Amino acid sequence: MQVKIQDKETVTICYVSGDIDINSAPLIRKELEKVLSGKKAKVLVNLKDVSYVDSSGLATLVELLKNIRAYGGKLKVCNMAAKIKTLFEITKLDRLFEILPSEDDAVKSFV
Amino acid sequence: MQSLRLQSQTESIKRASAGIVNFIIEKEKSVHKDILFDIKLCVEEAVRNAIVHGNRSNVHLPVDISYDIADNKITITVEDQGNGFHLEKLPDPTQAENLYKESGRGVYLMHRLMDKVHYNTKRNRVTMEKALK
């Protein structure tokens, strides 16, 4: 599991690769907290290279969303595999998260 | 019938799911990857619950897993040494007031992704079934 952080225009993009599960969730939380500590206003999590998420992974993303919203920031998610999107739908987390099909769509949607 | 006895430690979660997924792939050549995803996820959620909530992460307490395929259906049982839980007391994680909660989705996902989920009377043993075709 890896997290790469890159700024694109005014958006901070977090590229996560690998599984987001009980093993990797603490590391992802630690890496993404670095973004939050900078109080970034527009954060995008790109899940292009993520093929598996469990309930710990979902919890980690919910925690991130809460923490970003707490300081008035916005978080969006893009490039989600169909199966992972299904998990968001059946847990109704698609009501909390703005899910965009591509990185370009997501970056434009922040403007 | 295959069986595994695992220690109550995090490493056991992946060991259980890998063992069961590999068993399915060996026995049934053309199971769709989405079905394997669901089974992997539900096994991991069940084993994690058994370790954390059932056995309270006491490494000396085992988690017993058994599984078998019959009639294109896999049946998986996960049993811990705990005192069971009250399914009806678990909050619905999809209700608006629970959406921001960070826990409570594991059992819900098991019930949504498997075809059948049932428990023994004590509720320290869960049995899950899923069609492989």
Q: What is the pLDDT of residues A30-79, one digit of tens each?
A: 998 888 888 999 999 999 999 999 999 999 999 999 999 999 999 999 99
Could you give the 3-state DSSP secondary structure of residue A36?
Answer: helix
Q: What is the pLDDT of residue A62?
A: 96
Cβ of residue B93 closer than 8 Å to a chain A Cβ: yes
From CA B73, how far away is CA B51, in angstroms rounded? Answer: 26
From CA A16, how far away is CA A64, in angstroms rounded? Answer: 14
Q: Which of A2-11, A79-88, B33-42 has the lowest mean pLDDT?
A: A2-11
In chain B, which residue ranges form alpha helices assigned H by DSSP? 11-27, 33-49, 106-113
Q: What is the pLDDT of residue A69?
A: 95
Q: What is the pLDDT of residue A111?
A: 76
Instruction: Please give the structure tokens belonging to residue A53.
Output: 């998420």
Q: What is the pLDDT of residue B41?
A: 98
- Cβ partners under 8 Å of residue B91, min gap 6: B98, B101, B104
Q: Which of B9, B45, B57, B105 to mutate to test the interface with A (most CBs of A within 10 A)?
A: B105
From CA B32, how far away is CA B99, in angstroms rounded? Answer: 30
Q: Domain residues of chain A, as ranges?
A: 2-110
Cα A56 versus chain centre, distance: 14
Cα B129 versus chain centre, distance: 10
Per residue of chain B (133 residues), give pLDDT as tens.
999 999 999 999 999 999 999 999 999 989 999 999 999 999 999 999 999 999 999 999 999 999 999 999 999 999 999 999 888 889 999 999 999 998 889 999 999 999 999 999 999 999 999 999 8
Residues of A within 8 A of B102 (CB-CB) are 59-60, 62-63
Q: Which of A1, A50, A54 to mutate to test the interface with B (most CBs of B within 10 A)?
A: A54
Q: Residue B127 — φ and ψ, nearest 5°?
A: -120, 130
Domain annotation for chain B: domains and CATH numbers: 2-131 (3.30.565.10)
CATH for A2-110?
3.30.750.24
Residues of A within 8 A of B111 (CB-CB) are none
